[in-house]
Amino acid sequence: MIDHVTIRVGNLASSRRFYECALALLETSAELVEADGFVEWNDFSLAQADGEHRVTRRLHVAFQAPTRVAVDRWWRELTGRDYDDDGAPGARPEYGPDYYGAFVRDPDGSSVEAVHNGPPRGDATLLDHLWLRVRDLEAATRFYDAVSPIVGYRVTRLPGRTRVHGDGASFSLVAGEPTECLHLAFSAPDVATVRAFHEAGVRADAASLGRPGERPQYHRGYFGAYLADPDGNNIEAVHHDRPAGS
């Protein structure tokens, strides 16, 4: 599964207001967790852009909605608060027979969607899917084909796009001006999987952004490794070996 997705934002306070409202309208029970410079709701988080990390651009992120009525309300409330409309509520049969979504823009211009597409996957998962634009679709597909199966994800080539999917949220790759400054982390069942993920990426000529190891600054037992995808996004595998009771 996707463990978490982090986007960098230009103004953490204004982006937090947007996403707090957007997620509340979807009736999620996800708890807000705050730390210095970032906020997090289960598998989705925001971090303040800075001199080292630029704002995330050209990302599409879709959250699960419990019903079509919730999708309608979500779009109506957010556009009523002067967030930019990016697509009115409606069926999108090109994505599936039960697909019903609506779209707005967040404060940094990223496309954000509420989608109802069958039963929700559960309270712990907010994300339904992502769309990443890539400079070279074949190169990006080869990278994800090398690393994704190690963490339980499959790569399917479709006309005009590549879909990367598993038991949790999925994401698609489409050619265009690339998504930048995205952090996407896959969940790994053990540290051996984290090591194998990193090794497979390096063998596929991906740059390492951090060798496998403990990251206690996040929590005790956080074991992760980081790779750059062909467009420079930070792709991670992480195992949470949390001590009992933590």
pTM of the model: 0.93
pLDDT-based confidence at residue 246 (cuts at 50, 70, 90): very low
Q: pLDDT tens across 147-205, in order? A: 999 999 999 999 999 999 998 899 999 999 999 999 999 999 999 999 999 999 999 99
Residue 123 has pLDDT above 80, yes or no: no
CA distance 16 to 37: 11
Per-residue confidence band for 29, with pLDDT thresholds at 50, 70 and 90: confident
**Nearest in space to 116 (alpha carbons), one of 162, 155, 71:** 71
Question: What integer pLDDT is reported at residue 152 of this predicted model?
Answer: 96
Angle between helices 191-203 and 137-147 (to 10 degrees): 150
> In the sheet that 100-105 helps form, which strands lie side by side, from edge to edge?
85-91, 100-105, 111-116, 59-64, 127-134, 170-175, 161-165, 154-158
The pLDDT tens digits of the residues spanning 131-140 come to 999 999 999 9
63-105 pLDDT per residue, tens: 999 999 999 999 999 999 999 999 999 999 998 899 999 999 9
Mean pLDDT of the chain: 94
Name all domains of the chain by residue range, CATH numbers in brackets.
2-176 (3.10.180.10)
Which residue bears the tokens 């479709």? 158
Residue 214 pLDDT greater than 60, yes or no: yes
CB atoms within 10 A of CB 11: 13
